[in-house]
Chains A and B, each alone.
Chain A
Amino acid sequence: MAVEVRIPTILRTHTDGEKAVEGSGTTISEVIDDLETRHGGLKERLVESGDLRRFVNVYVNDEDVRFLAGVQTPVKDGDTIVVLPAVAGG
């Protein structure tokens, strides 16, 4: 399962400056584990005790995974995952 993962500026120190990287897995959690093997340190910035960190938002095809199945949300070939820091609107 190959998916594109878009990385926000603030986390690109872990991806050699790449805006988007390829990952594989059948869930968000598996994709993050897969990314960690090539982009060390990324996992710790995203996840804390098995859950997404408070100021990290992850979207699969534009839908916030917190309202799907969290890090257990399934992903399929060709999905786009976007990681963004939580910021203020309004």
Chain B
Amino acid sequence: MRYESLLDSVGETPLVGLPRLSPSADVRLWAKLEDRNPTGSVKDRAVLWMLIDAEKVGRLRPGCTILEPTSGNTGISLAMVAKLRGYRLVCVMPENTSSERRQLLQMWGAEIVDSPAAGGSNEAVRVAKGIAAEHSDWVMLYQYGNPANAAAHYEGTGPELLADLPSITHFVAGLGTTGTLMGVGRFFREHKPDVRIVAAEPRYGELVYGLRNLEEGFVPELYDETLIDSRFSVGPRDAVRRTRELLEEEGIFAGISTGAILHAALAQAAKSVEAGESADIALVVCDGGWKYLSTGAYEGTIDEAEDRLEGQLWA
């Protein structure tokens, strides 16, 4: 496959079967390998769409400073694109994120502003909004509320899945900004409405939920719950266990959030088996495991890995 530049190669990722993890010949799992994108994560899709959209409407001009709250992958993707297009990038990132993510951001030239670990991405969003108010000329693409984030999946991920797997019955992805689920969800509601949309939401340690009051809670502006059919909360223990199973059974070395997604996909698969229905369940491999090696998720016992992830933003 030939492309004019790296940015032109975003998307059109492989969909691979998971024959060993699939429970039966009638209930099958398929993995969309989003780690094959240029900076190694599904976020390249959203970032490219948000950036092109902002350029088109004139919000972004050469020399602009981009500001974004991000726990990692969006920032890494933005850093690469910003470098190629000549923008300065400032990322607001919770301090409890892995060191690899910080190194990658700095490698591509991004500046990092730390936000407190307590409160997780909530705090990063709050700090970024504060900085944006002080610098009215900086451009915040704001992945949690930017329709171009979901559009990337409505126009790309969704149609690719339907083309590669016309018999698709379920789509399972992680719930963060909600962009992937909203875009793919809307696409299937319009083009194959019987496809069930399943969300896997990472459940972190208590530190991350350390709000001062409930009114500080956060639901991304993009989120529309009518586009989702079920939502599973997955803790670090199940996420790590499934991440390791994916490697051992199918040879796929994925990040920890993918383990959470696989856990929800297997729960759905078990329900389909129990109901005696056939199913083709597509799930997202968000990124590879490289950025999470320092978290210790891949070594020692599951208990040890779970302890090490306590308080970290592992997804």
Q: Does B215 contact A (CB under 8 A)?
A: yes
At the interface, is chain A mostly helix, strand, loop or mixed?
mixed
At the interface, is chain B mostly helix, strand, loop or mixed?
mixed
**Contacting pair B209 A8 (CB below 8 A):** yes
Instruction: Tell me the bound Cα distance from A59 to B120 in angstroms.
Output: 20
Identify the stretch in A21-29, A31-39, A60-68, A71-79 within 8 Å (CB) of chain B at 4 or more residues: A60-68
- A residues within 8 A CB of B231? 63-64, 66-67
**Contacting pair A55 B218 (CB below 8 A):** yes
Within 8 A of B (CB), among A49-90: 53-57, 59, 62-64, 66-67, 82, 84-90
Q: Does B259 contact A (CB under 8 A)?
A: no
**Contacting pair B232 A87 (CB below 8 A):** no
CB-CB nearest in chain B for A82: B233
Instruction: Tell me the bound Cα distance from A66 to B211 in angstroms.
Output: 22
**Contacting pair B201 A89 (CB below 8 A):** yes
Q: Does B234 contact A (CB under 8 A)?
A: yes
Looking at A86, A87, A88, the one whose CB has the most chain B CB atoms below 10 A away is: A88
Besides the known contacts A64-B199, A87-B120, 20 further A-B residue pairs in the complex with CB atoms under 8 A apart:
A8-B206, A9-B206, A9-B209, A10-B213, A45-B214, A55-B219, A56-B217, A62-B233, A63-B231, A84-B209, A84-B233, A85-B217, A86-B218, A87-B119, A87-B217, A89-B71, A89-B175, A89-B315, A90-B71, A90-B143
A selection of 5 A-B contacts at a CB cut-off of 8 Å is: A10-B211, A55-B219, A64-B232, A82-B203, A90-B179
Interface residues of chain B, those whose CB is within 8 Å of chain A, are 69-71, 74, 119-122, 124-125, 143-144, 174-177, 179, 199, 201-203, 206, 208-220, 225, 228-234, 267, 315
Interface residues of chain A, those whose CB is within 8 Å of chain B, are 8-11, 45, 53-57, 59, 62-64, 66-67, 82, 84-90
